[in-house]
Amino acid sequence: MSHLAAAFLNKRLGLIIMPTEKCNYRCVYCYEDFEQGRMADSVSDGIVRLVASRAPLLDQLTISWFGGEPLLAMAVIEKIMQAANDSAAEHAIRLHSGATTNGHLLTLPRLRRLCALGVSQYQITIDGPADVHNARRRQAKGAGDLATILANLHAACASDLLFAITLRIHLDEISVPRFDDLLAELGTIVQDPRVSFAFEMLGNYGRALPDTIRPMSRGRFQDAARMLEDRLAGLGKAASGADADEEHVCYAATPNSFVIRADGAVQMCTVALNAAHNAVGRIGSDGVIRLNERYAQWLSGWHMDDRAALQCPAKAIVAMQAAAKQPRATALPHAIERIVA
């Protein structure tokens, strides 16, 4: 199926939900402000009603848990996932769910509960071996704790649970030479077929990087990532990240995908959280998403046939604003109105 058809298909809905924006970590490069706490009941009620109202038309529902640290708000996750499972069972919907987590709270009992609810895909970021990781991905109340994360991963791999964990490895000029040290600390986790690797270039996403991080150019990152992919291939392990997919369409450019923050604000992008152009609406306790004129900007890549805007609409909007060529607000196309009604 083409990206265009998938993006505008009314039978699919993607929700990236932030059940809390608090976090138990304070990573040195994090762009979030942690001001909002646990999602209000009125917002989670609205999400439950949104899913229930859309369910008769859906054949696929994707719920991604983000934060903050989403596992700090397990009660919200359980409430929404239980309702989503009920709707999926009633209407034969394919339900997919995953979480982006620092891994500190992903204990085996919690993982078992989440898998039972259908939250089976996880992304956990690791910055390198313990001394590198702990200096960068620090806890809110002290030093980082890679040992706890690895203990949780070992427990998960010793279980018979059905899950997929992607270890997102941040690369810079310091972490790349230490990759074999990280593999040694991961130990048998590397060999588990449920665990995969993805490489990401460590950069500035809204907060200046400290001197202890030495960022790479895009070309240098791609070369390093390919080298490490070859290293993993020699161990019988696949990895991704070196080569960007030219056909990639960002979730933020699709009309059937929304970020719902803890206070009920609706956005398109999880990175530009505090950017004015990212505030596209709100969800009410009645389950209706009410959008404003900013929403159309995020879809401009489709009608302008702009590949760069589809790959990262946030950058395209900033560039248009800088050039004083911001698209005039227009009424939402009828097909899009159906998606969000």
Amino acid identity of residue 87, one-letter, is S
pLDDT of 335 reads: 36
pLDDT of 309 reads: 83
- Give the 3-state secondary structure of residue 247: coil
pLDDT of 268 reads: 94
How many whole angstroms separate alpha carbon 70 and alpha carbon 36?
A: 12
Residues 6+ apart with CB under 8 A from 89: none
pLDDT of 338 reads: 33
The strand pairing partners of 290, in sequence order, are: 282
Residues 6+ apart with CB under 8 A from 269: 250, 252, 259, 275, 278, 298, 313, 314
Helix, strand counts (H, E) of the chain: 12, 13
The strand pairing partners of 197, in sequence order, are: 167, 239
pLDDT of 329 reads: 47
Domains of the chain: 10-240 (3.20.20.70)
Residues 6+ apart with CB under 8 A from 238: 196, 197, 229, 232
> What's 20's DSSP letter?
B
**Terminal CA-CA length for the chain:** 24
The reported pTM is: 0.89
Contact 153, 130 (CB under 8 A): no
pLDDT (tens place) for every residue of the chain, 341 residues total: 455 555 566 799 999 999 999 999 999 888 888 888 999 999 999 999 999 999 999 999 999 999 999 999 999 999 999 999 999 999 999 999 999 999 999 999 999 999 999 999 999 999 999 999 999 999 998 889 999 999 999 999 999 999 999 999 999 999 999 999 999 999 999 999 999 999 999 877 666 788 889 999 999 999 999 999 999 999 999 898 877 555 678 988 889 999 999 999 999 999 888 889 999 999 999 999 999 999 988 988 887 888 888 888 888 888 877 775 555 544 444 333 333 43
Q: Which residue has the tokens 């270890």?
A: 167
pLDDT of 327 reads: 54
